[in-house]
């Protein structure tokens, strides 16, 4: 039963990997016709690239002449999660109303298959008391588009009017949160964002979430961003167009009298999503100068002068049959020479083999006795020497450690440096006065300061006197980021009076 469950989990994991679009190298290199090498490369760019946009070089930087074939689009249905972002703006009520009509008509008039789940999230500006700017209409992506259409129709648009920049929203922040939502979806699903917006970002200058950040996050996650741009009163907001293009999305335009047209465009976009997810496959074929050595050889690929992840194929090894075909005359000569050498050697071997066996039997018995005795004596001597050296080393280390600790302890007494710890654990408070060079803190009873909390590691930290001050050292194997001191993580940190130390959910105050 356990083996069956393991096999099933591996099978499902493999299926999830196969279901996702693979970018870059696709499959293995074909070296059956070596030195001719063939490989297939995939890009998310839906546009067909020609040969002049590619540069292929070998591991020595030499250009490789190659043939390029654009393969037919892969007909495959991907599991998709489509997130609509609804820019809800009271100051421009036509936009919100048109967005409502657009989404309701799209959900009601489109035939969907079971491979696509949807969600709708509304946004405007992030309030100080809110963690996020996005407000999803449902908690999870769903196949129930009738329910989504009802929720969109019943949603009450924002009544808040902003006096400053009334037609701008936290657009990039909303898109970035949408990327985070889609990355939380199962790994076998492809994420797509469709944002309906006027294209004006409230925090375009100096904000923590800029368009470059959104583009980088979307590209890294393989999420295309489609923009349905509402015709705002001022400007045409070209930046959001660039965002759509750079993530291999598309920009649609919608005005007051173009909702029906935009619905049709959205339906066409939905019907082409699988082709977009599959991207484009290009078949490269070239003749390599790399030898048949069974070793990996690196390739460098530039696409539109942009370096791609390094490619590497393994050359087939030189087989005996191939070598014979290439060196037939030399092979025949070597065979004749080998036969002559064998015939000459047989007579000497037969004559000497009996005498050699007799001498070897006698000599081996005597030699083995001597070797065994010498090895035994040498091993005993080495063990004795090693034991003496180890005992001497441990004694010296012990003396040095005691001397150093006594020196530091005398220094603590001279300077009258005996800090006090105020410990707060699970509602209990107690104090501890440090009177030694090393003070161990943790949940284990053998520590100097015992913090009885499951959130504290058995041996969590040490406070060490270094002669000038006290330092906090992280000893926890669970809290690898370090110990929190005054709200920051440290592996090792000098302490001063009043510092607050966080160990799991326990808080320790350090006073000198």
Whether pTM exceeds 0.75: no
pLDDT at 302 over 60: yes
* CA separation for the pair 508, 115 (Å, rounded): 53
- How many Cβ atoms sit within 10 Å of the Cβ of residue 311? 17
Q: Which residues contact 3 (CB under 8 A, 6 or more apart)?
A: none
Tell me the backbone φ, ψ of residue 205, rounded to 5 degrees.
Answer: -105, 120
User: What is the end-to-end Cα distance of the chain in Å, rounded?
Assistant: 61
How many degrees, rounded to 5, is the angle at CA 375 between CA 372 and CA 380? 125
- Under the banding of pLDDT at 50, 70 and 90, the label for residue 13 is very low
Q: Are 500 and 485 in contact (CB under 8 A)?
A: yes
- Percent with pLDDT over 90 in the chain: 45
The domains located in the chain, with CATH, are: 79-278 (3.40.50.410), 420-511 (2.60.200.20)
Helix (H, G, I), strand (E, B) or coil at 84: strand
Q: Residue 225's closest CA among 214, 234, 236?
A: 214
Model confidence band, residue 203 (pLDDT cutoffs 50, 70, 90)? low
The predicted pLDDT at position 232 comes to 62
What are the pLDDT digits (tens) for 465-505?
Answer: 988 889 999 999 888 899 999 999 999 999 999 999 999 89
- pLDDT tens by residue, 352-385: 888 888 888 888 888 888 888 888 989 999 899 9
> 143-159 pLDDT, tens per residue?
999 999 999 999 988 88
Containing 285, the helix (H) or strand (E) segment is strand 280-287
- Nearest by Cα to 69 from 30, 38, 35: 38
Please, what's the largest Cα pairwise distance for the chain? 112
In this structure, of 10-19, 207-216, 480-489, the range with the lowest mean pLDDT score is: 10-19
CA pair distance 26, 248, nearest whole angstrom: 19
Per-residue model confidence (pLDDT) at position 347: 85
Q: Is residue 162 very low, low, confident or very high in pLDDT (cuts 50, 70, 90)? A: confident
pLDDT digits (tens, 9 = 90+) for 325-362: 878 898 899 999 999 999 888 888 888 888 888 888 88
């Amino acid at each position: 039963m356990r083996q069956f469950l393991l096999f099933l989990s591996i099978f499902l994991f493999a299926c999830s990997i196969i279901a996702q679009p693979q970018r870059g190298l696709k499959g293995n290199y074909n070296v059956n016709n070596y030195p001719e090498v063939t490989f297939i490369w995939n890009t998310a760019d839906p546009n067909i690239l020609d040969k002049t946009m590619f540069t292929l070089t070998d591991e020595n930087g030499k250009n490789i002449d190659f043939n390029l074939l654009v393969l037919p689009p892969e007909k495959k249905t991907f599991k998709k999660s489509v997130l609509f972002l609804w820019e809800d703006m009271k100051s421009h009520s036509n936009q919100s109303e048109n967005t409502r009509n657009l989404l309701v008509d799209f959900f009601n008039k489109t035939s969907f298959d079971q491979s696509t789940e949807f969600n709708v999230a509304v946004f405007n500006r992030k309030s100080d008391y809110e963690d996020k700017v996005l407000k999803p209409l449902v908690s999870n992506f769903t196949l129930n588009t009738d329910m989504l259409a009802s929720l969109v129709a019943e949603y009450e648009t924002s009544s808040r009017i902003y006096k400053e920049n009334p037609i701008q929203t936290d657009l990039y922040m909303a898109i970035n949160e949408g990327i985070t939502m889609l990355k939380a979806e199962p790994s076998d699903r492809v994420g797509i964002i469709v944002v309906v917006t006027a294209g004006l970002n409230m925090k375009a200058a100096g904000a923590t979430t800029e368009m470059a950040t959104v583009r980088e996050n979307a590209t890294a996650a393989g999420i295309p961003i489609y923009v349905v741009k509402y015709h705002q009163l001022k400007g045409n907001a070209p930046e959001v167009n660039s965002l759509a293009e750079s993530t291999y999305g598309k920009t649609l335009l919608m005005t007051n009298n173009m909702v029906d047209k935009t619905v049709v465009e959205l339906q066409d976009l939905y019907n082409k999503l699988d082709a977009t997810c599959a991207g484009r496959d290009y078949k490269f074929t070239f003749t390599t100068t790399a030898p048949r050595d069974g070793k990996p050889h690196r390739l460098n690929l530039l696409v539109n002068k942009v370096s791609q992840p390094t490619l590497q194929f393994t050359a087939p090894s030189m087989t005996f049959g191939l070598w014979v075909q290439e060196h037939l005359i030399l092979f025949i000569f070597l065979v004749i020479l080998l036969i002559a050498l064998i015939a000459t050697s047989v007579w000497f071997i037969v004559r000497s083999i009996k005498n050699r066996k007799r001498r070897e039997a006698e000599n081996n018995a005597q030699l083995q006795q001597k070797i065994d005795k010498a090895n035994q004596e040498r091993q005993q001597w080495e063990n004795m020497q090693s034991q003496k050296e180890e005992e001497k080393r441990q004694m010296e280390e012990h003396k040095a450690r005691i001397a150093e600790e006594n020196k530091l302890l005398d220094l603590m007494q001279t300077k009258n440096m005996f800090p006090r710890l105020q410990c707060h654990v699970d509602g209990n408070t107690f104090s501890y006065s440090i009177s030694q060079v090393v003070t161990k803190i943790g949940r284990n009873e053998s520590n100097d300061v015992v913090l009885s909390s499951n959130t504290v590691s058995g041996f969590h930290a040490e406070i060490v006197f270094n002669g000038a001050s006290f330092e906090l050292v992280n000893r926890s194997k669970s809290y690898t980021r370090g110990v929190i001191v005054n709200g920051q993580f440290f592996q090792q940190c000098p302490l001063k009076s009043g510092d607050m130390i966080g160990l799991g959910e326990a808080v320790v105050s350090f006073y000198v």
